[in-house]
Amino acid sequence: MSQLKLLWELQSYVVELNDLTNKLETLNKKEEIKQIEIKLNEKEYDLVNKKTQLEVDEVKIQRYEQKLKQLAFNKEEIDQKLYSGQITNIKQLEQMEKESKDIKENMKNLENEMLDIMEEVDNLEKEINILEKEYNELSEEIEDAKNKNQELISSVKEGIKVKKNKIEEIQKEIDEDLLNKFNQLKQKKRKAVVEVVGDRCTGCHMNIPTSILSKIKSSDKIMYCDNCGRILYYNKEKS
Ligand SMILES: [Zn+2]
Give how far Cα 78 sits from Cα of 85, 94, 142, Å. Answer: 12, 12, 64
- CA 174 to centroid of ligand 1, rounded, Å: 22
Residues forming beta bridges with residue 26, ordered by sequence position = none
- CA 71 to centroid of ligand 1, rounded, Å: 98
Query: Distance between CA 183 and CA 165 in Å, rounded?
Result: 17
- CA 222 to centroid of ligand 1, rounded, Å: 14
The kind and range of the H/E element at 102 are helix 90-173
Report residue 224: phi and psi, to 5°: -110, 150
Where do the domains of the chain lie?
Answer: 25-160, 176-233
Region 205-219 average pLDDT: 93
pLDDT at residue 238, rounded to an integer: 72
At a CB cut-off of 8 Å and minimum separation 6, what does 2 contact? Answer: 220
Amino acid, single-letter form, for residue 167 = I
237 or 211, higher pLDDT? 211
CATH class of 25-160: mainly alpha
- CA 89 to centroid of ligand 1, rounded, Å: 120
Region 37-59 average pLDDT: 97
> Does the pLDDT at position 239 exceed 70?
no
Report the relative pairing of strands 231-233 and 193-197 from DSSP bridges.
Answer: parallel
Query: Distance between CA 96 and CA 232 in Å, rounded?
Result: 112
Our measurement of the distance from residue 59's CA atom to the centroid of its chain's CA atoms, rounded to an integer in Å, reads: 38
- CA 24 to centroid of ligand 1, rounded, Å: 32
- CA 195 to centroid of ligand 1, rounded, Å: 9
> Does the pLDDT at position 237 exceed 80?
no
**Which pLDDT tens digit goes with each residue over 163-172?**
999 999 999 9
pLDDT at residue 143, rounded to an integer: 96
**Residue 95's pLDDT band (cuts 50, 70, 90):** very high
Query: Distance between CA 22 and CA 125 in Å, rounded?
Result: 47
- CA 176 to centroid of ligand 1, rounded, Å: 23
- CA 218 to centroid of ligand 1, rounded, Å: 19
- CA 193 to centroid of ligand 1, rounded, Å: 10
Of the candidate ranges 5-9, 13-17, 65-69, 84-88, the one whose mean pLDDT is the lowest = 84-88
> Does the pLDDT at position 1 exceed 90?
no
- Average pLDDT of the chain to the nearest whole number: 95
- CA 70 to centroid of ligand 1, rounded, Å: 97
- CA 199 to centroid of ligand 1, rounded, Å: 11
**Residue 236's pLDDT band (cuts 50, 70, 90):** confident
User: E strands, the chain, where?
Assistant: 193-197, 200-201, 231-233
- CA 235 to centroid of ligand 1, rounded, Å: 16
Query: Distance between CA 176 and CA 100 in Å, rounded?
Result: 110
Q: Which of 95, 104, 115, 113 is nearest to 74 (CA)?
A: 104
pLDDT at residue 129, rounded to an integer: 98
**Residue 30's pLDDT band (cuts 50, 70, 90):** very high
Residues forming beta bridges with residue 85, ordered by sequence position = none
pLDDT at residue 157, rounded to an integer: 98
Region 170-196 average pLDDT: 96
